[in-house]
Structure 1
Amino acid sequence: MESPFPTRLRAARKAAGMTQQQLGINLGMDPNTASARLNQYEKGKHSPDYQTAKRLADELGVPVAYLYCDDDLLAELLLALVKLSASNQQELLDKIQKSV
């Protein structure tokens, strides 16, 4: 099975309204190579190490788990969950645990 990382990274970057170069520069990459490096990640030719993936996720405002999630519904749930306050997240978790 192919890694969902390239597709999820591209979707998160576009949702954030950033170009590959902007994202790379925001992470401290050299402006001359930022776009090419992000392009390699988005095409699946290279995979970033976990620390880089975490920095990408943080910059894009998504949980790092979203970038690796191979289930579309679960990925969308992750995005929705991070928008909730911590207390609402806990409340939802309590409800889910009671219904399982």
Structure 2
Amino acid sequence: MAHPNPIPDRLKAARTKAGITQRELGIRIGMEPSSASGRMNHYEKGRHIPDIDTLKRMADELGVPINYFFCENEMTAELACLIASMTEEQQAELIATLKKSQL
């Protein structure tokens, strides 16, 4: 069974949380003002899938890690954001803790 593409829902959730319009996000990542709203709407509706460079610009603008867009549920999406906000040292400690708990 094929899984639905998580990008449209993640994109809309991150944009909504950031409190900006589709048009504004499109313009901020370098789209022409006349087409920004329509292009972003197509991404959020799943009619088109953004290329990796566009996805990276969106992630940077919305303050989420790029892997956020690929998370299939809310819990992994939240974890991706929390992990991205940690220092490398904190991430290393978390990895060590998780590995210990699997023993």
Normalised TM-score (structure 2): 0.89
> Structure 1 segments of 4 or more deviating over 6 A?
none
Report the RMSD for the aligned CA atoms in angstroms. 1.1
| 1:86 corresponding residue in structure 2 | 88
- The offset of 1:98, in angstroms, is 1.7
Identity of aligned residues (%): 48
Q: Do structure 1's residue 38 and structure 2's residue 40 form an aligned pair?
A: yes
Question: Over residues 27-47 of structure 1, what are the superposed CA-to-partner deviations in whole Å (9 max), with x where a residue is unaligned?
Answer: 111011101100000000000
Question: Over residues 61-87 of structure 1, what are the superposed CA-to-partner deviations in whole Å (9 max), with x where a residue is unaligned?
Answer: 111111011133211111121222222
Q: Map residues 12-91 of structure 1 onto 2, 5 A cutoff.
A: 12-91=14-93
Secondary structure of 1:25's aligned partner = helix
Secondary structure of 1:56's aligned partner = helix
The amino acid of 2:95's aligned partner reads L
Q: Which runs of 5+ in 2 are unaligned?
A: none
How many residues are treated as equivalent by the alignment? Answer: 100
The amino acid of 2:99's aligned partner reads Q
Q: Which runs of 5+ in 1 are unaligned?
A: none
- The offset of 1:10, in angstroms, is 0.3
- The offset of 1:50, in angstroms, is 1.2
